Amino acid sequence: MSASALRITEIFYSLQGETSRAGWPTVFVRLTGCPLRCGYCDSEYAFHGGVSMEIEDILQAVKEYNCPVVCVTGGEPLAQKPCQTLLTALCDAGYSVSLETSGALPIDDVDPRVARIVDVKTPGSGEVDKNHWPNLSLLNAHDELKFVICHEADYLWARTLVMENQLYQRCPVLFSPVVGGYSATELADRVLADRLPVRFQMQLHKVLWGNVAGK
């Protein structure tokens, strides 16, 4: 595997299931590997394995779908150093590019044309100590901040963090319930009752197809 190659779990075409881009046909490039082990992870199959691909081969695979929207995801994409080069190459090729990252690694070197979708790990994830807090000050209106809510305590923790730091003034903030965990209805009711300036979301791809790889 060359220094410029990336380990790829899958490249597939589906509907974006989350963020403000939900519902848009999108090509997903899923990189292999992640330093976190969140209790609710739905892509554990991306922790290991994958195939080595040069960036030009990834671009060719993406091109075959004839889709202008690309999401680089994982695992944790930024755990592979050539990811930054891939993101820039996709932007240079004219794609609208988003990056889904765990928030555990610095995002300051990500190409500014990329929409950075940054997780904040809640206590319920089991990985709250992995949050790279300096990332929050780097966010702008082009980015989005996502909280996966496991239970009521997570909601209260996230609400406090968002309101005390006025994170909604930096970028859109997303609250998403853990599938099979915190009730989506209860979370929606709490967001409304507290008049939070956040976007409630559910994972559209799971509503449509369930937890299926490649969707």
Q: Is 85 exposed, middle or buried (0-12, 13-18, 19+ CB in 10 A)?
A: middle
For 88-103, the pLDDT digits (tens) are 999 999 999 999 999 9
**Is the peptide bond preceding residue 17 cis, with omega within 30 degrees of 0?**
no
How do the residues of the chain divide into helix, strand and coil, expressed in percent and rounded to 5? 30, 25, 45
Structure token digits, residue 85: 């080069």
Q: Measure the CA–CA gap between 18 and 204, rounded to whole angstroms.
A: 7
Helix 55-63 × helix 83-92 angle, to 10°: 40
DSSP string, 88-136: HHHHHTT-EEEEEE-SSS--TTS-TTSEEEEEE--GGGT-GGG--GGGG
- 32: DSSP letter: -
Q: Check whether 209 has a pLDDT greater than 70.
A: no
CATH 3.20.20.70 fits 6-209, yes or no: yes
**DSSP state, 18?**
S
pLDDT given at position 46:
86
CA–CA gap between residue 143 and residue 19 (Å, rounded): 10
Q: What is the pLDDT of residues 103-139, one digit of tens each?
A: 999 999 999 999 999 999 999 999 999 999 999 999 9
For the segment 48-78, what is each residue's pLDDT rounded down to a tens digit? Answer: 999 999 999 999 999 999 999 999 999 999 9
Residue 163, number of CB atoms within 10 A of its CB = 14
Token readout for 133 is 């807090």
